[in-house]
A and B are shown apart, each in its own frame.
Chain A
Amino acid sequence: QVQVVESGGGVVQPGRSLRLSCEPSGFTFRNYAMHWVRQAPGKGLEWVAVISYHGSNKYYADSVKGRFTIARDNSKNTLYLQMISLGPEDTAVYYCARDAAAAGMRGFDPWGQGTLVTVSS
């Protein structure tokens, strides 16, 4: 079964850091680009970042550029999102999603169940 599972969310104080992880299963992780997408409470989806299949190329939404870092370890089959200088505006459910282009579909599939990050003092 093709799936991804996020972890690492929680409550963090403003200005602090947090690292999210995403573990895939059921597919060859190193063959796929991966994305992070977030959803603030009661709001829509926001694309956050993408990393190429080999990890050399990384791109970010303007709202997180300079504060968030996407990374992957293909030997450990894990995707990461390192977040620093967190603010209340970063409170959201964070989803990991596979870019399914290598499977012949230009879209995000599958998605994880999400991990909630709450930035609050």
Chain B
Amino acid sequence: QSALTQPASVSGSPGQSITISCTGTSSDVGSDNYVSWYQQHPGKAPKLIIYDVSNRPSGVSNRFSGSKSGNTASLTISGLQAEDEADYYCFSYTDTSTLEGVFGGGTKLTVL
């Protein structure tokens, strides 16, 4: 149950786009299309922003998009806004029949 690998930090200026990677193995990220992403502002609970690799829940801005290639999933935020400054975590099931899973280490996004 090793954590998925994310960059510790990324930054971008308002209006720009950034991408956060999430690297696992063929046993988790690479095994199915059930990667999800979470946004967490300081002192707040995490919020689901992407599920099933690339789908957005109702109410989540279309500036957030997800993709996957092999054992690496990615979250892209376009048109950066100050409110996007937060921590972002990926999650992958390690067994979709049991629903066990593992989170990435988290990425701190700074909007310059």
Interfacial residues, chain A to chain B (CB-CB below 8 A): 33, 35, 37, 44-47, 50, 52, 57, 59, 61-62, 95, 99-101, 105-114
The complex places the Cα of A20 from the Cα of B34 at a distance, in Å, of: 28
Is A108's CB under 8 angstroms from B48's CB? yes
Is A111's CB under 8 angstroms from B55's CB? no
The complex places the Cα of A44 from the Cα of B52 at a distance, in Å, of: 21
The complex places the Cα of A98 from the Cα of B62 at a distance, in Å, of: 23
B98 at the interface (CB under 8 A from A): yes
The complex places the Cα of A16 from the Cα of B51 at a distance, in Å, of: 37
The complex places the Cα of A44 from the Cα of B36 at a distance, in Å, of: 15
Interfacial residues, chain B to chain A (CB-CB below 8 A): 1, 3, 34, 36, 38, 40, 45-48, 50-52, 55, 57, 87, 89, 91, 93, 95-96, 98-106
Is B51's CB under 8 angstroms from A45's CB? no
Is A105's CB under 8 angstroms from B52's CB? yes
Residue of B with least CB distance to A58: B98
Is A105's CB under 8 angstroms from B103's CB? no
Query: Contact check: which of A47, A100, A110 meets B101 at CB < 8 Å?
Result: A47
Is B103's CB under 8 angstroms from A46's CB? yes
Residue of B with least CB distance to A95: B45
The complex places the Cα of A95 from the Cα of B96 at a distance, in Å, of: 21
- A73 CB to nearest B CB, Å: 19
Residues in A whose Cβ lies below 8 Å from that of B57: 105, 107, 109
Residues in A whose Cβ lies below 8 Å from that of B106: 44-45
List, sorted by A's number, 28 A–B pairs whose CB atoms are closer than 8 Å: A44-B3, A44-B87, A44-B89, A44-B104, A44-B106, A45-B40, A45-B106, A47-B102, A47-B103, A50-B98, A50-B99, A61-B1, A99-B99, A100-B51, A105-B52, A105-B55, A106-B36, A106-B51, A107-B50, A107-B91, A108-B36, A108-B46, A108-B48, A109-B51, A109-B57, A111-B47, A112-B45, A113-B45
